[in-house]
Amino acid sequence: MAETCGQVLLGSGLTILSHPLMYIKVLVQVGHEPLPPTLGRNLFGRQVYQLPGLFAYAKHIIKIDGKSGLFKGLTPRLCAGTIGTIVHSKVLQVCYCFLRSEMSCVFLMNTPIFLLSFQTTKEMIARSCATIVTHPFHVITLRCMVQFIGREAKYSGVFDSIVTIYREEGILGFFAGLIPRLLGDILSLWICNMLAHFINTYTSHTGEIKNCSQAVTGFFASMLTYPFVLVSNLMAVNNCGLAGGLPPYAAIYPNWLHCWSHLSREGNMSRGNSLFFRKLPAGKMYAVEQKRFF
């Protein structure tokens, strides 16, 4: 219990610190570009039109809403983090006891690849349960953030938001974008663990490599599965009555596969992945009035 409380406190602190970064990333993912591109130079010294980065975007938000404006959607995100940590810890314990008892007589239990599969499966179940339980709060968080685009106040608090979503969309509204998010989490976990196992098994077993492998593979896995994160976030706000989830910022997608297909055709599968050294998309024109690209 004490360990879980420590994890909740640590997670809450990291959530608060990282919230402005997530807020800006979500607005970029939706396609909101409030500042026009400026002429600058890339790493090779060539002149290119660059989009505002993290700090320029943050200054723009502060200018409009003040410093507190950088923390829109923080409360439901903290709720999601706290509940998710508790659910993850409890499910992990149950999975360990159940799988251990079921597999205790299996000879392969002692082989490295089986142990890896056992640990990854256990973690996958725990993460998936935590994601499903907390996804309604994730949806509320995203919609609170996207309100910045149209200056709306439709989602003003956790309880009011719950009532609004249930009244307009029913139970399914709380799970908009859940499937691509789950798929991305599962793929990222397996890719990360398999790559880390491969590196630790087939390279020299130095402490430095073992310490770095998890971080490197985690970064690589997140890059590969980023499109799932993007599609999930877009579906969570799509056609919810906010300007950021309606044309011209987004088409009305009947499901997440249509969203994926549309982003792929437009070449936007990595939109928002980087908040630094952002360059003007090739073949796109900036619309000052709508603050987005065409």
* Rounded Cα–Cα distance for residues 178 and 181 (Å): 5
* CATH no. of 2-293: 1.50.40.10
What pLDDT score does 219 carry? Answer: 83
* Rounded Cα–Cα distance for residues 172 and 155 (Å): 17
**The Cα angle at residue 190 between residues 186 and 196, in degrees rounded to 5:** 145
Mean pLDDT of 154-181: 95
Minimal CA–CA distance to 293: which of 26, 29, 32, 60? 32
Residue 3 in this model has a pLDDT that exceeds 80 = no
* Rounded Cα–Cα distance for residues 242 and 227 (Å): 22
Are 70 and 57 within 8 A, CB to CB? Answer: no
Minimal CA–CA distance to 112: which of 19, 31, 205, 179? 205
CB atoms within 10 A of CB 157: 13
Mean pLDDT of 187-203: 84
Q: Give the model's confidence band at 172: pLDDT under 50 very low, under 70 low, under 90 confident, else very high.
A: very high
Could you read off the pLDDT of 260-270 as tens digits, one per residue? 999 999 888 99
* Rounded Cα–Cα distance for residues 270 and 277 (Å): 14
Could you read off the pLDDT of 243-258 as tens digits, one per residue? 999 988 888 999 999 9
Q: Give the model's confidence band at 107: pLDDT under 50 very low, under 70 low, under 90 confident, else very high.
A: very low
Domain regions of the chain by residue span: 2-293
Residue 40, φ and ψ in degrees, nearest 5: -145, -165
**The Cα angle at residue 253 between residues 147 and 58, in degrees rounded to 5:** 30
pTM across the whole model: 0.90
